[in-house]
Amino acid sequence: MLKPRWGISILGEKVGNITVCSRISMIVRHHSYRLAPSAVSLFLALLVVAAGVGSARAQDRNPIFTVTGVAVDETAASASDARDVALAAGQRRAAQRMFRRLIVRADEAFLPQLTDETVARLVQNIEVSDEKTSSTRYLASLRVAFKPDIVREHLRDAGLRFSETVSRPRLVLPVFEAAGAINLWDPPNAWREAWEARGASADTVVPLLLPEGDLQDIGSVGPIQALAAEARPMQAIAARYRVRDILVAHATLVQDLAANRPLVHVSLRHIGPTSGAVSIETFVGESRAQVGALLAEAVARTVERLEDEWKRDNYLRFDEPVRLSASFALGTLSDWLEMRRRLGGAAVIQNVELASITRSDVQVVIHYLGGPEQLGLALAQRDIDLVEEDGFWTLRLARRAEAPRTR
């Protein structure tokens, strides 16, 4: 029996980053059995309306442009003067934090000087909380949102490349090897302690989390299994922490007896949907009595390297605007709403054009910066799979994990 084919043809106008209909014509095809057209019409009409409700440019909703928890504490001749000084200083610090999220560390020295006029042009809005004042002192916490278009213009005028994509959380398994012993869970593990001491960062673009190290973790994966990246143990601990990416950080501590100083060799192995090559780096300590400081430095530089590599892989390329047509199999209205929401957070996407809707699928045209691989990587961070099948692109909602506690 043939399935009835109901569709909507759309002549659209763009609202935000999704093109919505300005004229809708219902296409009805008759088949050997009857289906109430009113129900189908209502469903499809709801889809079209949903395409335009609350839509905005994808990058404008990107939290990377909002800095929270900016503490200010200033003293001046009066509380009013102290408040003015504090707000100006807080906005400048927030701008510096925001720029560090976007560019690699080596480019920070090339950022133009942030004057009060420049900061005022960059800021979209400010929220103030926890205000405390005295006759000469002002304390508060600021939430500062910046204008994405002006930020991009500022960086491009300075000749700096940047990325706006935030990685999915990665689970770090810190395997420590010293004096012939290999340890992941059992104390003491100075390498794990160094990762724990690093703490969480609100400005990271590569969120990292550590496992609890309880009996369930110990039973899920051992140090040898982690180094070998055995599939079942990796899948078990990834499922527990609701992540798709694992980073096995293997530190080997050796002593340079001739120079009386420690060395630590750090290898990183990324395990996940897009597993990468193993990278190795060696860090040299000052003395054998300062192993803790050496491991802390190794963690800090390892994280910096992860962040910079991620940014370089996701640089926005404004000289390569392209478009890609893709279909999305339609189950329910909520499916499309969820897909639209996830698409709206991908930094490389300039806008999404809604081309057509049928009972079974939605066809969209994605206008984006870069190549298909970069688009696929950016969408993967939003838990969207971009799959090519027989020359046609398909979008799929990947099972989204609950947000884990990051470091």
What is the C-alpha R_g of the chain?
26
CA distance 45 to 34: 20
Q: What is the pLDDT of residue 116?
A: 92
Q: Which of 116, 136, 157 is the last residue of a domain?
A: 157
Whether 235 and 177 map to the same domain: the answer is yes
Task: Work out how many domains the chain is built from and give that number.
Answer: 3
Residue at a domain's end among 250, 284, 313? 313
Q: Is residue 52 part of a domain?
A: yes
Inter-helix orientation angle 190-198/291-313, to 10°: 60
- Considering the domain architecture, whether residues 143 and 248 belong to the same structural domain is answered as no
**Above 50 in pLDDT, residue 35?**
no
Using CA atoms, how far residue 339 sits from 21, 342, 343, in Å, is 18, 5, 6
The Cα–Cα gap between 166 and 276 comes to 18
Q: What is the tens place of the pLDDT at every residue in 74-94?
A: 999 999 999 999 999 999 999
What per-residue confidence (pLDDT) applies to 105? Answer: 95
Helical (H) or strand (E) element with 369: strand 361-369
For 235, the 3-state DSSP assignment is helix
Q: Please indicate, yes or no, whether residues 256 and 294 belong to a single structural domain of this protein.
A: yes
Mean pLDDT check: name the lowest of 111-120, 187-196, 210-219, 309-318: 309-318
- Residue 122 sits in a domain whose CATH number is 3.10.28
Whether 165 is covered by a domain: the verdict is no
The answer to whether the CB of 349 falls within 8 A of the CB of 366 is yes
Q: Are residues 226 and 151 in the same domain?
A: no
Among the listed residues 271, 193, 263, 185, the one whose alpha carbon sits nearest the alpha carbon of residue 224: 185
How much is the pLDDT for 340?
Answer: 87
Judgement on whether residues 54 and 77 belong to the same structural domain of the protein: no
pLDDT at position 61 is 64
Give yes or no: residues 36 and 76 share one domain: no
CATH number, residue 289: 3.40.50
Domain end position, chosen among 134, 157, 180: 157
Confidence band of 256 (pLDDT split at 50, 70, 90): confident
Q: What percent of the chain has pLDDT over 70?
A: 82
Residue 39 in any domain: the answer is yes
State the pLDDT confidence band at 31, using cuts at 50, 70 and 90: very low
Q: Sorting pLDDT into bands at 50, 70 and 90, what band is 320?
A: low
Q: Model pTM?
A: 0.75
Give the list of residues 6+ apart from residue 212 with CB closer than 8 angstroms, or none. none
The answer to the question of residue 163 being in a domain is no
Share of the chain above pLDDT 90, in %: 57
Residue 200's pLDDT band (cuts 50, 70, 90): confident
281 and 376 housed in the same domain: no
Asked whether residue 407 is domain-assigned, the answer is no
- Band (275; pLDDT cuts 50, 70, 90): low
Nearest alpha carbon to residue 212 among 247, 250, 172: 172
Specify the higher pLDDT residue, 129 or 32. Answer: 129
Percent helix, strand and coil across the chain, each rounded to 5? 35, 35, 30
> Which among 200, 164, 210, 170 has a CA at the least distance from the CA of 316?
164
User: Confidence band (pLDDT; 50, 70, 90) for 286?
Assistant: confident
Tell me, yes or no, whether 220 lies in a domain: yes
pLDDT at 131: 96
Range of the domain at 80: 63-157
Across 192-205, average pLDDT:
91
